[in-house]
Structure 1
Amino acid sequence: MLKQRVITALVLVAILLPALAAEAAWPFALLTLVFVAAAGWEWSRLNGAPGWRAWVLAAAVVGGALYAAAQLALPVWSAQPSGSALSEPHTHTWGEPPVGFLVPGWVWWLAALIWVPGGGAMLRWGTAHWLAVPQVLRRLVGVLILVMAWLALVEGRSQGLNFLLSVFCLVWAADIGAYFGGRAFGKRKLAPSISPGKSWEGVIAGMLTVAVLAALWVWVDRHAAVADGPSLYSRLWTGLGPLGAALALAALTGMSVAGDLVESLVKRQAGVKDSSQLLPGHGGVLDRVDALLPVLPLSLAVMTLCHG
């Protein structure tokens, strides 16, 4: 199992790094589109629609993503887009992207509307009622969250590797901190009917780990001067102040946990351990990106609150 995990991870890194390093936008956009399509295929199978219907949902994710990119004039296939005027204040006009960004802020707040109340309702009542939701509606939810995540990946990449990597590392740090904190101090179960191993103490440890990571990253951003643009942490610090940044990061950490729990709930309702076996030793694509699905668009939503 360990050998499989290592080989799969090395193959994924070998594929991902050239796409990230490319000057053009399309290699990364195309590669991530393949991954979200695979996640759509998994989502359909988890929600009682395997076979050809799963392939239809994968195609719907691709079609929806490309249509949304075209409607938002996101330069997916052109030379690598980059946020302009990153040093200017993030002034806002409703329906227009904040300065330095490509996608209007309302898109990310629509994602927040889906994830925050929707995710909360699902975690509150989903164990008893998720399978009672019409299958078509469950599959449509999958298309929406995956399209939003892909758009956020493209927008995040346009802001620079430093920004995108800082979002990824937020999720990874929250997960690592929660794991070790939960093992050391975990007593109060977070969601025993969904994921018995998670605890409130683990969530708090994850938040503290993210706070430490953010402080270190801001220091590096200010003193190293080697990044291709500000990280998420530096932008939040500048735009919201220390307290606002801390609250935003705590909220994003909480949503990373929610994303993980939502996928765990869906798998539990489907009676499976992994979303698929597409990634040998790692399970499925959804198993690897579940926490990122809400954090990617919501990190951009909080960016619209930043001024300066």
Structure 2
Amino acid sequence: MLKQRVITAVVLLALLLPALFYPSPEPFCALTLLLIVGAGWEWGRLNGCAEGQARVAGALLGGVLALIWWHFGLDADSRWLWPWAAGLWLLLAPWLLYRGVAGWPQVPRALRLGLGWVLIGVAWWAMAQARVAGVAMLLSILLLVWVADIAAYFGGKAFGRRKLAPAISPGKSWEGAYSGAVGVLLLAVAWLALAPADGPAHLYTALWRWGPVLAPVLLVLLVAMSVVGDLVESLVKRSAGAKDSSRLLPGHGGVLDRVDALLPVLPLAMWVVTA
């Protein structure tokens, strides 16, 4: 398993890192669009689609996003989209988590499928627009999620006592969630202190424009939504009786397993940046 994880990680990094740092955003957006096709296929399978239907749905999701890219361009003004997407996550996710694993199948299947594909597509569009805004902008958002996850893992291991959502994700604790928030606050302080004032735009300067009171509140909200994204995907997998969203990434599970925390964070972060 470890060997598979390492090989998969090396291959992904070998493909994604050169694309990420390429002068134009197109190579990175094209590669990640292929991954989104996989995520769309996984979402269909987790929600009762037959294998062939799920493959068609994933391809259609990728085709629709490619058509939007071709028609509007990656730099299209999407400021109107981010409040809607963020609001949808903020309203629906707590309701879904409150209803729990048993409540997910009670949501009409067409609504589950359509809403999931839309939110996956919106997250990719937010990632593409963040890359258009600059490598520093995208990395500052990605690092927020990664640092939150790593700090939560070690904080949970060291201090975890109270379970966050035992019926959905037994490994998560409130102490881990608090540790994730502290880790991200430290990341933000370090980034603001070390990044040159006239350097590339990033999430933390955008947050600071909201003022010293709202900035930390919004930062903690982003951390909380990364946890919510992870929990929602875990809820869906438990409802489907699946351990991983797929085996598309050997040793790592599926695409959704890797990007679940990013799905709500990306549009919310772009709303913070562009509002």
TM over 0.5: yes
Find the counterpart in structure 2 of residue 105 from structure 1: 79
Q: Distance in 2 between matches of 1:24 and 1:179?
A: 35
1:219 aligns with 2:193: yes
Instruction: After TM superposition, give the deviation of residue 70 of structure 1 in Å.
Output: 5.2
Q: Does structure 2 conserve the Cα–Cα contact (< 8 Å) formed by 1:221 and 1:234? A: no
Q: Distance in 2 between matches of 1:256 and 1:123?
A: 14
Question: 3-state SS of the aligned residue for 1:48?
Answer: coil
Q: Does structure 2 conserve the Cα–Cα contact (< 8 Å) formed by 1:41 and 1:54? A: yes
Amino acid corresponding to residue 233 of structure 1 in structure 2: Y
Find the counterpart in structure 1 of residue 49 from structure 2: 49
Find the counterpart in structure 1 of residue 206 from structure 2: 235
Instruction: After TM superposition, give the deviation of residue 110 of structure 1 in Å.
Output: 1.3
1:298 aligns with 2:272: no
Structure 1 portions without partners, runs of 5+: 82-101
Instruction: After TM superposition, give the deviation of residue 141 of structure 1 in Å.
Output: 1.3
Q: Does structure 1 conserve the Cα–Cα contact (< 8 Å) formed by 2:206 and 2:272? A: no
- Cα deviation, 1:252-283, whole Å, max 9, x if unaligned, reads 00000000000000110111111111111111
Find the counterpart in structure 1 of residue 251 from structure 2: 281
Match of 2:145 among 159, 171, 174: 171
Amino acid corresponding to residue 220 of structure 1 in structure 2: L
Structure 1 residues 141-150 or 23-32, which shifts more? 23-32
Q: Distance in 2 between matches of 1:285 and 1:26?
A: 20
Larger helix proportion of the pair: 2
- Superposition CA RMSD, Å: 1.6
Structure 1 consecutive aligned stretches of length 4 or more whose deviation exceeds 6 Å: none
* TM-score (normalizing by structure 1): 0.85
Find the counterpart in structure 2 of residue 259 from structure 1: 229
Q: Does structure 2 conserve the Cα–Cα contact (< 8 Å) formed by 1:60 and 1:143? A: no
Relative contact order higher in (CA < 8 Å, ≥ 6 apart): 2
Q: Distance in 2 between matches of 1:276 and 1:52?
A: 15
Q: Distance in 2 between matches of 1:105 and 1:70?
A: 19
Q: Does structure 1 conserve the Cα–Cα contact (< 8 Å) formed by 2:140 and 2:204? A: yes
Q: How many residues get paired? A: 275
Instruction: After TM superposition, give the deviation of residue 67 of structure 1 in Å.
Output: 4.1
Find the counterpart in structure 2 of residue 96 from structure 1: none
Q: Does structure 2 conserve the Cα–Cα contact (< 8 Å) formed by 1:64 and 1:143? A: no
1:272 aligns with 2:229: no
Find the counterpart in structure 2 of residue 14 from structure 1: 14
Amino acid corresponding to residue 4 of structure 2 in structure 1: Q
Structure 2 portions without partners, runs of 5+: none
